[in-house]
Chains A and B, each alone.
Chain A
Amino acid sequence: MESKLRYYFGSMVFLSGLILSISAIGFAIMVHLRRTSDPSEIITTYGILGVGLSFILMGINLMVSQRRPYGLYSNWVMIFGFLSSIFGVGLFAAFYTDNWVYPNVSYVSFAYASGICLLSGNAFGNAVLKLIEERSRQLVDTNIINQYSVEDIEKEVEKTLNESFSETTRFSAFSLGIKEENPVFIPGKALKDSTQNKIEVKDSIREVECLQNTISGKVKVNDYGIDLTTKMLSETMKKHTEAQNQSLSDKLKIKLNSMRR
């Protein structure tokens, strides 16, 4: 059964049960029900109340019921519980007042009580299962968010790579200007006249070329060997194509000659 349909039936049965129970209580108040009341009044009140309570529990069961594999057992328990409680009410209506003695009272009590217990136990069990599954689903969802595929990572790297050398990355585009003010500090003689000391060290900074290659993904090669091999390969490929063309034209000529003959 579709879950929406189950909810529809469940809520309908639940409300019916509620109306029946309220009606039974209303009826009991109306007829001033007591121990010495007319048996028909007692049967009507308790019968409607008993059926109403079964309907309420049945409605709850329908709304919280699980899918397979638990759903299969749960449905059987629900049906058995409902039938048992209705059977209990029926027995009560049949035995009251004339046969309302031991062991009939025990049979009625056992049938109704077992039905109500099965229905309420099933509803509780299903509700607990639903809570656990909901929590585990939330955990699985959170894990999915944190899992990145190789494609996602590559896309992110590419995006950042494109932005890494642009001027508007994570900093504000606002340019802070500094107003020329009258100098408050008078520089000392050394600050005005002397030049800044510099340390000069030998360093070819070959990282500049490496960085250029890494960013652009291109490699410049000034290798005589590679150039020579490339030329030789291209000449060989050219000759090979010419030879193939030659052999094709030769074959065609031979075929034409043979046809003429």
Chain B
Amino acid sequence: MAKGLDVGTMNIICAEKGKGDSISFAQQRNAFLEMEAGDLAQNMLDSAKILYTQKGNTINVLGEDAFKFSNVFNKPIRRPMKQGIISPDEKESIPMIKLIIERVLGQPEKEEEIVYISVPASPVDSKVNVLYHSKTVEALAKRLGYRTNLIDEGLAVVFSELGDFNFTGIGISVGAGMTNITVAYLATPIVSFSIARGGDWIDEQVSSATGVANERITAIKESDFSFNSDYEIGSVQGALALYYDALITYIIANLKKKLSEVAPPDAEFPIAVAGGSSRAKGFLEMFEMRISEANLPINISKVKKNKYIASDSKDPMYSIARGCLIAALTREDAEFVEVPKEEEEKAKKAVTV
């Protein structure tokens, strides 16, 4: 069965069809924490069923637990990806991503199983090139025996969220490292670009403004932050609201600039927002407000809201993996339909001969 893989800066998520009418998501944090190796530490980690690897005298704790340990020991975590692509500053980035991908994707159930992998579009405000990242991630999945296809993160959002609108609209994925935007018309991308700012940028700015550690800011942002609240002067929440608003304004300004360079068809374009960094309560209301003020050169019908429910597949964090899965299943179905036709033709030829 086909799979969808979202390789994000913060999370790596795999989506596959579950039993009956369901989707099954496998998720791991794309982060690790280096610790000193020792029998006591190893026994403790083994008994707590914590994922780790050992290399010489060091232990690398993987995934969600790396964040927990980081907060406890006040030690910075290491991230294999930075600004949406494989981090060039992290020497262990590829082995770590490889381990996490192997963990969430698993082995293919059949030969040449299709997997669609989300990759970022070229950024408009950075010289970063996404080709090396895309090809490396593709190679890691190929190595497991999958038939890989790459898809823009923004387009994956369109596939996941805008089915009711004939896949016409704007898909925005506000991730940790990057924000990916795709304007699609009937499932075909018209404009696809990314911005080298996302949740991490907010964390960095808030951290440098308030002096609180980056990891702590991430934890507050994910658990104890919402828009539409009053904030104390000097509070982390107040700074988060400020930088969230700055990010939204920056995204819309770049979207407006890009749209002025193309001639989009005369149609209604709803907007779907997804990605881990759009999970903050009140984010979409703020986004809707800023969009209405922006006067974009296309007809925006609505901003499609994703209710944040952790157990729902409509959780904005899972949207990209879900979009990848939709693309993969569609591809699989298309190929399944094509095969009998070929066989039929062969049979016809055989009969005429």
Contact = CB atoms under 8 A, between A and B. Distances in A.
B139 interface: yes
Interface stretch (A69-77, A121-129, A172-180): A172-180
Interface residues of B, number: 65
B208 interface: no
A186 interface: yes
B24 A200 contact: yes
A202 B18 CA distance: 9
B142 A202 contact: no
A198 B22 CA distance: 12
Contact of A201 (B22, B139, B167, B331): B22
Contacts of A206: 163
A208 B104 CA distance: 23
A214 B326 CA distance: 13
Contacts of B59: 188
A174 B134 CA distance: 11
A101 interface: no
Given A199-B24, A205-B326, A212-B334, A188 B313 contact: no
B99 A185 contact: yes
Given A171-B131, A189-B46, A199 B25 contact: yes
B22 A202 contact: yes
Given A207-B159, A214-B186, A214-B187, A186 B53 contact: yes
A190 B330 contact: no
B300 interface: no
Contacts of A197: 26
A165 B313 CA distance: 25
Interface residues of A, number: 44
A205 B331 CA distance: 14
A185 B54 contact: yes
A199 B27 contact: yes
B52 A205 contact: no
Contacts of A198: 24-26
Q: Is the interface of A mostly helix, strand, loop or mixed?
A: mixed
Interface in B34-64: 42, 45-46, 49-55, 59-60, 62
Contacts of B21: 202-205
Nearest to B142: A175
A103 interface: no
B55 A196 contact: no
A205 B138 contact: no
Interface string A90-102: 0000000000000
Contacts of A189: 46, 49
Given A184-B95, A200-B19, A216-B334, 5 more contacts: A157-B185, A186-B53, A188-B42, A188-B45, A191-B52
23 contacts: A157-B188, A160-B190, A161-B187, A171-B135, A175-B138, A175-B142, A186-B53, A187-B99, A188-B54, A189-B49, A190-B45, A190-B46, A191-B51, A191-B103, A194-B51, A197-B26, A198-B25, A199-B25, A200-B18, A200-B25, A205-B325, A211-B187, A214-B166
Q: Which 4 A-B pairs have the closest CB atoms?
A: A207-B163, A185-B53, A188-B52, A176-B139
Interface of B: 17-19, 21-28, 42, 45-46, 49-55, 59-60, 62, 95, 99, 103-104, 106, 131, 134-136, 138-140, 142-143, 149-150, 159-160, 163, 166-167, 185-190, 263, 265, 311-313, 322, 325-327, 329-331, 333-334
